[in-house]
Amino acid sequence: MSMEPHHVVKCPIITEESQIQTGKANQYTFRVNPRANKKQIREALEAIFPNVRVVRVNTMNYQGKMRRQFVSRTAGRKGSWKKAIVTLRDGDHIELI
C-alpha cells in the first residue's frame, strides 16, 4: 500500500527530550500514520526533505488514553498513534522551527 509522503509523516514532535536527542544523536521525532512501516517512513522523509539521508528508523505504537466524558460520565478513549524516531546521517539536519 503506497501513501503520499505527507500522509505518512503527520507532524514533528517538539519536546524538551526530543530537542536533546536532536543535539546529541542527530535524531528527530515525528508523529506518523499508524499503518506506515519503517521503509515508508524513510522514503517519505527523504521525499519531503530532499537534502536529508535517513540512517535508521525506530517506531513505537501508543495506545490512546482513557478519558471520561463530562456530560454523560461515561468512559471513552483518545485515538491511538505511532511515533517514529529518525536518525539522520552526520552533517544532515532538518529545520523544524
- What digits encode the pLDDT tens for the residues 12-37? 999 999 999 999 999 999 999 999 99
- What digits encode the pLDDT tens for the residues 39-89? 999 999 999 999 999 999 999 999 999 888 777 778 888 999 999 999 999
- This prediction has a pTM of 0.88
Classify 54 as helix, strand or coil.
strand
Place of cell 521503509: 39
Cell of 36: 506506515
For residue 90, pLDDT over 80 is answered with yes
Place of cell 501513501: 3
CATH number at 5-88: 3.30.70.330
Classify 83 as helix, strand or coil.
strand
Can you give the residue ranges of every domain in the chain? 5-88
Which residues pair with residue 75 across a beta bridge?
68
